[in-house]
Every structure is written in structure tokens, then in C-alpha cells.
Structure 1
């Protein structure tokens, strides 16, 4: 019995895209595009974000395919980085140059590779550890361009998406993932559990998207308000917080990317526990393949 690499890679890619769309559909999300509005973004729409997510399937599938059964290495790091840049190009072609999921390509690309390195057998802890190993290898082919994220990292001394990945996604493992599991355990709806996971990220993450738009004052405001919402368990407050974020031009895009990554890892967690109910995302589905 062997795993069909093509089927495996397609399945992992479908899970990644599904996680992006689940994050998008979650409503209400303060300052972010959702089913209610476009948040603090004048250049985005729900449909554009959906199309962008779908455009990344090939990139995630290719990353999974070339990573299958390999060990983290400099060469693998640079191979998946090249595929990630192709994914960015596909995204920009669909969005006419608007950056919709660049951060998600980074985080989900690394996690996709790590899942495939472990041929679907790694635990969530092993996946993030492997992703961290990959992220710590330098990408020697990366174009040296100044981005909004790099400017914020230099100006404010925060980790950003790169540092988060290199450290093994601590905000997922210590904050959003435990919050998601805990919220489910107390019997609230799946939507509210996911909103709790998002709020926990906003409350703790030095979100470079928020810093870019509004500086430290906006970041402090967002953290305090997200923590207050969590403390009250009053989800109606999210609609007021959404309006406040929009008026202040606050968009917790980094938190949204990590929520999508949390939902992605959660699928692996459920599969390993034997609780996954979506047959089309059965990562461990094995088939007889000709050698």
C-alpha cells in the first residue's frame, strides 16, 4: 500500500484553499472582508478574495508534490519559494495587481510543504516545527524588494510573518489553536469558536498590517478591543468593533492569515483524531498505486 502523490498533493491543496475561504466567509470580522462588507479595504471584494484563494490551488499542489517525503533543506526551501512566487503571479493576474493573499501564500505554503514532508503522518506540533525549519533556511533567489511588511518590521522591531514562521508559529500553537479547541469544548457554535480564535490573535499579535495602516496607537487599540470582546462573550459587539476598525482604517490582515493557517492545521488535527467528516479532505486517504 503506497500513497498516490498526485492525489495526496491535490487533497492538501484543496484543504489549504478551503481554509482560506472559511476564513473569508467568517462573519463578522472587524476590519476585514467578509459576507457583510469589505472592512477597511476599498480595493477588495468578497468575490475577488474568493477568486484569489482559488487561484492558489496549483501553487499549493505543486509545493505538496515536490515536498513529499523529503527532508527540510536549503534546496527544498528555495524550490517551494519559487513555486510561491509563481503563486503570487497567479494571484496578481486574477486580482489585477491587488495583494489579497501574499501573506497566506507564505504561511500556508510552508505548512503545506511540512505536511507533505511528513507524508501526512506528522502531528500538528511536528508540522509547525518542520515549517519553522524550512523558514529558517534563506531564500537566496528572493528578489530584494522593500515591502510594507519589511518597512514595518524595521521601523517597529516586530517579527512579522517571517519571524512567526521561523519560530514555529507560536501565536497559532499557544493562542489561536488552543482557543479554537477550548471554545468547541464549551459547546459554542463553530462560527463563534472561529471568531474567538481570530479575536485571540488580534489581541496578542503584533500585526504588521495594522502597524502599517495606523502605527502603534492603532495596534494597541485593536488589541484592547479584541480582548474586551473575548472577555464579554458578546458577539454583537463585533459589529460595532467592525465599524470602529473601518473608521480608523484598521485591518488585522496578519491575524486573518494566521486564522486561515489555524483552520488548515485544525483539519489535520481532526483527521488524526478520526473526527473529520468531510470525505473530500481525508488527508490519509490511501490508494493502491502502481509502482
Structure 2
């Protein structure tokens, strides 16, 4: 893999994040609608602009993984350092992508280290990287780690160490929906809601507590139980769920980051070496 291919992976990851941002309506998450009344208070154009600042950092992560060639503690530490620098640059450009930096950073590194891996194989490679502790991480606890410790939630770190089960679930939903002829936008919304229905989102736990998390999970399941976003009943349930989260001021941001990760993995080209004979 060359430096050009490292950048190609980074740009593919940012394109996946942009596709997630463009999707609508996303309950409690920023999308292209008028954000003046949206609960996130984040301008959609600013988020799309700041997403571009991830390219240099993700390129560096890909190059680092390619050079190391194995999921070692040293690689994990280097990726963590690059990630923190990337988060700082993104904050200066408008911020809003901390969770996506973690998810996409690990998946981009896995794709660079194991170029033939796709789907579950790629998630398994990312799991090996995440299994190591970040020895250079600041000692002070983050909001996510504090909430995880308080409620026993897996959090972003646990999700990665489990091999990104929600990314895998989203990929399964996308594949099933496409086979059924579901429009792409509806397939992606269904994948988002599937993630939202079971994810232990630490941002939600911090904002709304366990009751709020269960409420959001139930709302997402309600849309899917009504037939998904491609059905009239499912769309009505989605609209009601969206209004509900706006009024409550709750944002399931972890689900959006994981959908971006799934869209990145989904967009990777299938290589001849991995196609069954």
C-alpha cells in the first residue's frame, strides 16, 4: 500500500461520514434541515466542513498501521496520539466528530494493515488493535469513561474491543434492505435505527440517564417494528420519534458515528482475493 492509498482510505472514511451527515431525518442528530430549532445546535454546513479536517489524521493513521503491519501496543499508542491531534484540529474547525474519529480511525487503520479484509474480517482486525491500552492517553477520566464506569456501559472503547458489533449489525441491515429493494436512504436510516435500538450510548447516559437511554432504544425499535422507514407506518413513527427527541433535547450521537463506520466498511471495494470461488 502506498501513501496515495493511505489518503484514499482517509477520504473514503470522510465521504462515509459526510453521507451519514446528509441522511435525514435523523432523530436527535444533525442533518440538512433547518438547525436553528434542532437540539444539537450544530450547523450542518460547519459539520461538513470540519469533517474534511479528518483527512490528514486518518491518512497518518493508515500510514502508521501499514508501517507497523501488526496490532501491537506500539501501534495503539501511535494511533491514540494521532487521534488526539486530529481531534484538536477538528475542534478548531468547528468540532463535532470526536466519536467518528475513534470509530473511523480504528477502521481505517485496520483496512491499511489488512488490505484484503472486508466486513466482519475488518472489524476483527480493528478489535485486535483496540485490545491494547493506550499507554500515552491522559490519565484524567473522560466523560465517556466516567459514564461507562458508573453504569457499566460498554462505551466506545468496549464497542471497539468487541469488534464493533453495531457496525456489523448495520452492515447486515444494509445488505438485507438492498436485497429487498429498499431505497438506499431508507436502508441507511433503518441501519441507524437498528444501531440506536441496542447501543449503550454513553452520551445519552450522561445527558438523560438510564431511563433516557431506554426511552431512545424503545423509540428506535418502535420505528422498525412499524415496518421500517420505507413503510408509511414506520415513517410516521420516525417523524414522531424525531419530534420527541427534539423536545427532550436528547442526542444519540454514538449511533451516528457507528453508522459512519458501517458506511465506510460498506464502501470498500471487494477484492478478487476475497471473492469466494
- Could you tell me the TM-score, scaled by structure 1's length? 0.87
Where in structure 2 are there 5+ consecutive unaligned residues?
A: 228-233, 273-277
Match 2:22 to one of 22, 25, 32: 25
Aligned counterpart, 2:275: none
Aligned counterpart, 2:123: 128
The number of residues matched between the two structures is 263
Matches of 1:82 and 1:90 in 2, distance apart? 13
Aligned counterpart, 1:12: 9
Is 1:217 matched up with 2:217?
Answer: no
Aligned counterpart, 1:47: 45
State the Cα distance separating 1:273 from its structure 2 match: 6.8
Matches of 2:271 and 2:250 in 1, distance apart? 37
State the Cα distance separating 1:237 from its structure 2 match: 2.8
2:197 and 2:217 in contact (8 A); partners too: yes
CA deviation map 1:235-285 (0-9, x unaligned): 2432221111011111110111100001011012xx1178xxxxxxxxxxx
Matches of 1:26 and 1:129 in 2, distance apart? 27
**Aligned CA-pair RMSD:** 1.4
1:31 and 1:251 in contact (8 A); partners too: yes
Matches of 1:123 and 1:133 in 2, distance apart? 15
- Could you tell me the TM-score, scaled by structure 2's length? 0.91
- Give secondary structure in 2 for the equivalent of 1:272: coil
Matches of 2:219 and 2:137 in 1, distance apart? 37
- Give secondary structure in 1 for the equivalent of 2:195: helix
Greater than 4 Å deviation, 4+ residue runs: none
What does 1:87-126 align with in structure 2 at a 5 Å threshold? 87-95=86-94, 98=95, 100-118=96-114, 120-126=115-121
Aligned counterpart, 1:157: 152
1:176 and 1:262 in contact (8 A); partners too: yes
2:118 and 2:265 in contact (8 A); partners too: no
